[in-house]
Amino acid sequence: MPRTAFIAALLIAGACATPESQLDDYEEVDATTLFEAPPPTGVTPANREVVARGKYLVELLGCGACHTEGALVGRANMHRWLAGSSVGIAYTNPVQFSRPGVVFPPNITPDPETGIGRWSREQVAEAIRVGAGRHGRGRILVMPWPGYARLTDEDVFAIVDYLRSIEPINSRIPENVPPGQPTSHDYVHFGVYRRR
């Protein structure tokens, strides 16, 4: 089993506490949360303001905190900005499941092979707003899309235009792992749990 990191809070009786015996296999990490987004490379006078707005929103929404290699464990690789993460995010209860379901944040650079380079503007917008994959199937379980659902069309497409303007990085990310299956990759637990 890979070394895992625990960044979820266990809430017990209204106070934050963690039963030490249940957390022996975990270590707390200091994740990278917000940092400057990569500079756009495909800017024209016609789209300069829209791309600048998209860059601002990507920074504000913290997209790089998950979609940048190493950011989830506090060691962001700034040469791989927004190119996905081989450190996954477990989405099941860390105390209840020894083999959690793990999602690996995808590459959101415009690389046509491993990123969003072949996605339409509408597909990227839909992924942001409702957490849908490229073909509209499923929900991305750890993506905070409910908070992005009310973004205006102007803001969503500014994000899309910015993501399409950055340098494409070829970066293949591990496949997601369903609950109960082993993974050979590191992952963090993400979320808030309450003891019953």
CB 43 within 8 A of CB 165: yes
Longest CA span, the chain: 59
How high does pLDDT run on average in the chain? 80
Q: pTM score > 0.95 for this model?
A: no
Q: What is the pLDDT of residue 58?
A: 94
Q: What is the pLDDT of residue 188?
A: 87
Instruction: Dihedral sign for Cα 135, 132, 110, 153, please.
Output: positive
List the Cα angle 118/89/70 in 5-degree steps: 75
Contacts of residue 139, defined as CB under 8 A and 6 or more positions apart, other chains included, come to 130, 131, 132, 145
Q: What is the pLDDT of residue 16?
A: 38
CB burial class (10 A; 0-12, 13-18, 19+) of residue 67? buried
Q: What is the pLDDT of residue 14?
A: 28
- Angle separating helix axes 121-130 and 153-165, nearest 10 degrees: 120
Contacts of residue 183, defined as CB under 8 A and 6 or more positions apart, other chains included, come to 2, 88, 99, 102, 174, 177
The ranges of the chain with pLDDT < 70 are 1-34, 94, 133-140, 190-196
CB 131 within 8 A of CB 140: yes
CB burial class (10 A; 0-12, 13-18, 19+) of residue 115? buried
Q: What is the pLDDT of residue 5?
A: 43
Q: What is the pLDDT of residue 106?
A: 93
Condensed to tens digits (0 to 9), the pLDDT of residues 10-50 reads: 322 223 334 445 556 656 565 666 677 777 887 888 899 99
